[in-house]
Amino acid sequence: MPKILLEMKNITKEFPGVKALKNVNFQVEEGEIHALVGENGAGKSTLMKVLSGIHPYGSYEGDVIYDGQVCKFTQIKDSEKKGIVIIHQELALIPEMTIGENMYLGNEQGHKFAINWNKTYFEADKYLKMVGLEESSKVQVKNIGTGKQQLVEIAKALAKNARLLILDEPTSSLNEEDSRALLDLMLNFKKQGMTMIIITHKLNEVAYVADKITVLRDGATIETIDNRGAERVSEARIIKGMVGRELTNRFPKREGVKIGDVEMEIKNWTVHHPQYVERKVVDDVSMYVRKGEVVGIYGLMGAGRTELAMSIFGHSYGTNFSGELYLNGKPIKMGKNASDAIKQKIAYVTEDRKGNGLVLSQSVKVNTSLANLQAISNKSVIDADKEYAVAEEYRDKLLIKTPSVEQLVGNLSGGNQQKVLLAKWMFAEPDILMLDEPTRGIDVGAKYEIYCIINELAAAGKCVILISSELPEVLGMSDRIYIMNEAKIIKEMKTEDATQENIMEAILASERKHDNE
Amino acid sequence: MSDIKRTSTDRANESVSRTKNIGAILLESFKKDTMLYILVIVYIFFLILTKGGIFRSSSFTELVNQNTYVYIIGTGMLMCMLTGGNIDLSCGSFVCLLGALGGIFMVLKGVSAGVSILLMLAIGIAYGTLLGWLIAYVHIPPWIATLAGYLAFRGLGTSILQNNSATSSLSPIPVEFRDVFYGRIFPTKEGEMNWPCFIAGIVAAAVIVTVILVNRKNRVKKGYEVESIGKTYVKCGIGCAVILLLMTKLALGGGIPTSLLWVVGIVLTYNFITSRTTIGRHFYVVGGNIEAARLSGVNTRRIMFIAYLNMAVLTSIATMTVISRSQSANSFIGNNFEMDAISACVVGGVSASGGSGTVLDMVIGATLIGIINLGMSLISLDANYQSVVKGFVLLAAVVFDILSHKRKK
């Protein structure tokens, strides 16, 4: 009988007005990888905050029993002392500092008044090796990629003598390759006896690494599924628990959509990096999209997908542009501002909704109307009634869950924020929508709703360019797929001919070619 | 504008608040309009301390005249702060330089008042264009670009004055000029009832009540939720009382100061721009998230440019009111004006990081500081201690604001 390392018993946590957790029970055995899944707002983060002491003892009901003792953590330091370490979704590293400095931030080595740098870097290097990083700990964090930064976060956790490691969406900003490496690292740690909890939306990862899967829904534990059998638990099985119903098809069917003429075409499109002017971020790309068509652009992170979309969108990224842009067969001279692209009825739904998509400090209403203010104003005086009506209309249309359209967008959940972002661009009434990672970091239910919106847009004769790093999504949603790598489009495929395998093969082949050159 | 539409949460709150007692309603309202209540409390405090001195009609006129420049420059500063906590450090020194130039035009060269106003405005626009271009298109951080002006203009202004006058002061500023910025409409003797002023007060009160009631009626007609009619009446009543009191006092103090017209005109105009127009909206979204604004088609550079051009224009108007009041151009005018304007914004609750705050917030902040200044000078507090008090008030206002917002969450 394996030892129970952590037991959370009948945890109830209330916030003013909402019960975030209702009698949650959660058990983790020593030496296992336990996945915690659930839709956004199901209570995963709250549960982990109770565990780590961010919600201090006394602010919740129930017991946290760790290593046989009832814990009364009042702050994160208390739980870290016991070896419970959380790695948060957003990387908390300081780019200007070295890896070593970052790893021992708040946990400085040496005497109280004098940091022992030799010891710091020596120890840091030791942990970096454990996570498989070859970089020296004296390298500045800004000089390494996101995937490696995630590994530094893990090394940092190890340096705190972690016994129970909690990873919150560790792969959300990683590409497939780095994600896989990270998951393998977790499996490796497990062999060495480490206990881990992983919170993730990516169910294929759950099936791959987890020994047990606990599903939370609406603040309550629904079930714990054992994944140690001979056959992996299917994603459909997990989804059923998460949404409480069987999602027979993760991608809604698009039926009766007639694909029309070519609406937009680019030829020999080349864009250079804004700072390193000699570097090409988009290299001689030619592509087209037809009315009513959903075109997927797949590529690993850094392949140049975002750069391509942004450069089409009124030269919003890059420098030294060349190539031609045709709309409905006519060559267009694109202006230098996003507003010029909007005038040409092109929309770009940004990848990073918090960073450059939404104004979080403003209301749903203000965000919805932002890209097309002139439509609700008369000689630049905003018609408050019209604006309100528009916001309400899109709130209904996209099923945005918010108490009112006056609610600040920052207070909404990720999925609803994404819908507000879509609402903004739908209200701009574009003919061509470029959606950059439209379902990143949102739960299964909201994803499905967004796919439905994409289908409606296509049915209305709009062109949709879907940029995504999730292969199943690209395969499930597109009519045609362009595969990008190293700033180039390396292949165009019809969806019928495309599989996960031949797409990855194409990318690997292009990498090999690149290496040989 | 934000309360035009009642939200469903408001609706819920309202139905709850109906059952609450008056104390709870007051507490809620206190949390919403904290600074307004503090303004009243501070006023009562000085009313007691000055034994009614601050309630004299001369005090009301003084309050308006003393703070004219704070309201005007504060409005410009607000627009800059909205774009992302950007400030203009150069405005005080620019007042000194422009005042000196105005003095030269009018006192030494004998240029007429009208032409001088145009010339000063043109210089302001020129400076604003240069500053706006440097900040918006050359990407010089605002505080560095304006720090340069802060240092240069004061020196330049002072040296111009020293070279042209033995006393470093050019006076008198002609009365036709002063009448525009520091005169009175239909002046009467102090203590006599100035009927035009009093009637203007009644008209203003009537207009405000009408606007509020018509707005409410429209909302009811369109089916939007409205606050209870009692609340509306209380608001109207308080508004009318304040306006009538102010205008009566001004009427007894010799009539409407022209400076008040400038302040009211500018405040109302900018209140409209910020709350009702697309360009006003653009100021808020640029301050909220400049990248999101840019990618939504907002010309972010143009907004930054307008913010600083506008700032210089308003500073020029403020300069005219200031040299009119002091009757001379000297090297002391404009001292610390930038700090007064920033304080007014911050005390009023304008976000120091941009994206939120209204013109009315700034007005409340400026009035609060104005009352404290006036009260302290009425009780003849030592100037050094006045400075100490102001420093603490500024800090206390912000601390209080942050704490009360935290509690709300």
Q: What is the pLDDT of residue B15?
A: 44
A 10 A CB-CB count for B71 gives 27
- Tell me the three state secondary structure of residue A302: coil
Sign of CA dihedral A308, A312, A313, A315: positive
Q: Which of B295, B407, B409 to mutate to test the interface with A (most CBs of A within 10 A)?
A: B295
Taking CB atoms and an 8 Å cutoff, what residues of chain A touch B356? 361
Higher pLDDT: A177 or B271? It is B271
How does DSSP assign B81-95, residue by residue? HHTTS---SSHHHHH
Q: Which of A368, A373, A395 to mutate to test the interface with B (most CBs of B within 10 A)?
A: A373
Pairing assessment for the beta strands A377-378 and A381-382 based on DSSP bridges: antiparallel
Shortest CA gap B83–chain A (Å): 13
Q: What is the pLDDT of residue B5?
A: 41
B404 pLDDT band (50/70/90 cuts)? low
Pairing assessment for the beta strands A319-327 and A294-298 based on DSSP bridges: unpaired
Cα pseudo-dihedral A469, A473, A479, A481, rounded to 10: 20
* Cβ–Cβ below 8 Å for A357 and B281: no
Alpha-carbon span A494 to A505, nearest angstrom: 16
Mean pLDDT of B182-198: 88
Q: Which of A379, A406, A422 to mutate to test the interface with B (most CBs of B within 10 A)?
A: A406
> Of B334, B398, B407, B389, whose CA–CA distance to B155 is shortest?
B334
Q: Considering only the beta carbons, identify the residue of A316, A356, A366 that sits closest to B281.
A: A366
Provide ipTM, 2 decimals: 0.85
> Which phi-psi region, left, alpha or beta, contains residue B110 (left: φ > 0; alpha: ψ -120 to 50)?
left
CB B122 within 8 A of CB B114: no
How does DSSP assign A259-283, residue by residue? P-SEEEEEEEEEEE-SSSTTSEEEE
> Of B109, B130, B108, B171, whose CA–CA distance to B313 is shortest?
B130
Alpha-carbon span B180 to B141, nearest angstrom: 36
* Cβ–Cβ below 8 Å for B278 and A377: yes
CA A124, distance to chain mean position in Å, is 29
CB A463 within 8 A of CB A453: no
Q: What is the pLDDT of residue B12?
A: 43
Q: Considering only the beta carbons, identify the residue of A337, A350, A362 that sits closest to B285.
A: A362
Q: For A337-370, how does the pLDDT look when each residue is reduced to its tens digit (9 = 90+)?
A: 899 999 999 999 998 888 899 999 999 999 999 9
The residues that bridge with A168 in the sheet, in sequence order, are: A199
Q: What is the pLDDT of residue A514?
A: 66
- Tell me the three state secondary structure of residue A85: strand
Which residue of chain B comes nearest to A428, CA vs CA? Answer: B296
Alpha-carbon span B139 to B116, nearest angstrom: 33
Q: For B330-364, how does the pLDDT look when each residue is reduced to its tens digit (9 = 90+)?
A: 999 999 999 999 999 999 988 888 888 999 999 99
Cβ pairs bridging A and B (under 8 Å): 94
Taking CB atoms and an 8 Å cutoff, what residues of chain A touch B289? 356, 358-361
Q: For B225-244, how does the pLDDT look when each residue is reduced to its tens digit (9 = 90+)?
A: 778 888 889 889 999 999 99
Q: For B122-149, how does the pLDDT look when each residue is reduced to its tens digit (9 = 90+)?
A: 999 999 999 999 999 999 999 999 999 9
Which residue of chain A comes nearest to B224, CA vs CA? Answer: A385
Q: What is the pLDDT of residue A95?
A: 86
Structure tokens at B81: 């702060």
Most confident of A86-100, B9-23, B335-349: B335-349
Sign of CA dihedral A323, A327, A333, A336: negative
Taking CB atoms and an 8 Å cutoff, what residues of chain A touch B358? none
Contacts of the segment A306-310: beta carbons below 8 A, 24+ positions apart:
A306/A351, A306/A436, A306/A467, A307/A271, A307/A281, A307/A282, A307/A487, A308/A269, A308/A271, A308/A282, A308/A484, A309/A348, A309/A434, A309/A436, A309/A465, A309/A467, A310/A348
Sign of CA dihedral B345, B348, B353, B356: negative
Alpha-carbon span A283 to A248, nearest angstrom: 40
- Tell me the three state secondary structure of residue B22: helix
Shortest CA gap B291–chain A (Å): 5
Q: For B254-288, how does the pLDDT look when each residue is reduced to its tens digit (9 = 90+)?
A: 889 999 999 999 999 999 999 999 999 999 999 99
Which residue of chain A comes nearest to B10, CA vs CA? Answer: A404
Shortest CA gap A81–chain B (Å): 30
Q: What is the pLDDT of residue A248?
A: 62
B409 touches chain A (CB under 8 A): no
Q: What is the pLDDT of residue A175?
A: 75
B13 pLDDT band (50/70/90 cuts)? very low
Shortest CA gap A201–chain B (Å): 26
Shortest CA gap B292–chain A (Å): 4
* Cβ–Cβ below 8 Å for A403 and B8: yes
Reported pTM = 0.81
CB A57 within 8 A of CB A71: yes
A200 pLDDT band (50/70/90 cuts)? confident
* Cβ–Cβ below 8 Å for A366 and B289: no
* Cβ–Cβ below 8 Å for A370 and B296: yes
B277 touches chain A (CB under 8 A): yes
Q: Considering only the beta carbons, identify the residue of B8, B279, B284 that sits closest to A380.
A: B279
* Cβ–Cβ below 8 Å for A356 and B291: yes
% chain A with pLDDT above 70 = 97
> Of B86, B81, B123, whose CA–CA distance to B102 is shortest?
B123
B384 touches chain A (CB under 8 A): no
CB A26 within 8 A of CB A7: yes
* Cβ–Cβ below 8 Å for B295 and A382: no
Q: For A229-284, how does the pLDDT look when each residue is reduced to its tens digit (9 = 90+)?
A: 877 788 778 877 877 766 567 888 888 788 999 999 999 999 998 888 888 999 99
User: Residue holding tokens 């400030």?
Assistant: B87
Q: For B25-34, how does the pLDDT look when each residue is reduced to its tens digit (9 = 90+)?
A: 777 777 778 8
* Cβ–Cβ below 8 Å for B284 and A362: yes
Taking CB atoms and an 8 Å cutoff, what residues of chain A touch B408? none
Q: Name the DSSP class of A13.
A: E
One-letter amino acid at A354 equals: K
Q: What is the pLDDT of residue A426?
A: 94
Q: Considering only the beta carbons, identify the residue of A355, A377, A407 that sits closest to B291.
A: A355
How many angstroms separate the Cα of A288 from the Cα of each of A271, A463, B397?
A: 17, 10, 58
| Burial (Cβ within 10 Å: 0-12, 13-18, ≥19) of residue B391 | exposed
CA atoms within 13 Å, Cβ hemisphere of B66: 18
Alpha-carbon span A78 to A490, nearest angstrom: 52
B13 touches chain A (CB under 8 A): no
How many angstroms separate the Cα of B55 from the Cα of each of B50, B239, B259, B349?
A: 9, 18, 20, 26
CA B193, distance to chain mean position in Å, is 28
**Which stretches of A273-329 are assigned E, i.e. beta strand?**
280-290, 294-298, 319-327
Q: For B304-334, how does the pLDDT look when each residue is reduced to its tens digit (9 = 90+)?
A: 999 999 999 999 999 999 999 999 999 999 9
Q: Which residues of A269-286 are buried (b: 16+ CB within 10 A; e: fewer)?
A: bbbbbeeeeeebbbbebe
* Cβ–Cβ below 8 Å for B281 and A358: no
Which residue of chain B comes nearest to A374, CA vs CA? Answer: B278
Q: For A283-326, how does the pLDDT look when each residue is reduced to its tens digit (9 = 90+)?
A: 999 999 999 999 999 987 778 899 999 999 999 998 889 999 99
> What is the H or E stretch that residue B258 is in?
helix B258-276
Q: What is the pLDDT of residue B8?
A: 43
Interface residues from chain A to B (CB-CB < 8 Å): 313-314, 316, 337-339, 341-342, 348, 350, 355-362, 366, 370-371, 373-374, 377, 380-382, 384-385, 388, 403-407, 424
Structure tokens at A45: 């983060």
Taking CB atoms and an 8 Å cutoff, what residues of chain A touch B278? 373-374, 377, 380-382
Contacts of B288 (CB under 8 A, 6+ apart): A359, A360, A361, A362, B354, B355, B356
Alpha-carbon span A110 to A270, nearest angstrom: 52
Taking CB atoms and an 8 Å cutoff, what residues of chain A touch B221? none
Q: What is the pLDDT of residue A517?
A: 59
How high does pLDDT run on average in chain A? 88
Mean pLDDT of A54-58: 89
> Of A112, A95, A187, whose CA–CA distance to A148 is shortest?
A95
Q: Considering only the beta carbons, identify the residue of A339, A355, A385 that sits closest to B297.
A: A339
Q: What is the pLDDT of residue A207?
A: 87
Q: What is the pLDDT of residue B10?
A: 45
* Cβ–Cβ below 8 Å for B298 and A339: yes
Q: Which of A337, A346, A433 to mutate to test the interface with B (most CBs of B within 10 A)?
A: A337
Taking CB atoms and an 8 Å cutoff, what residues of chain B touch A412? none
Q: Considering only the beta carbons, identify the residue of B2, B7, B277 that sits closest to A382.
A: B277
A 10 A CB-CB count for A123 gives 17
* Cβ–Cβ below 8 Å for B294 and A338: yes
CB B177 within 8 A of CB B116: yes
Structure tokens at B183: 């005169």
- Tell me the three state secondary structure of residue A286: strand
Taking CB atoms and an 8 Å cutoff, what residues of chain B touch A311? none
Taking CB atoms and an 8 Å cutoff, what residues of chain B touch A358? 289, 292
Q: What is the pLDDT of residue B406?
A: 56
Mean pLDDT of B295-301: 94
* Cβ–Cβ below 8 Å for A359 and B295: no
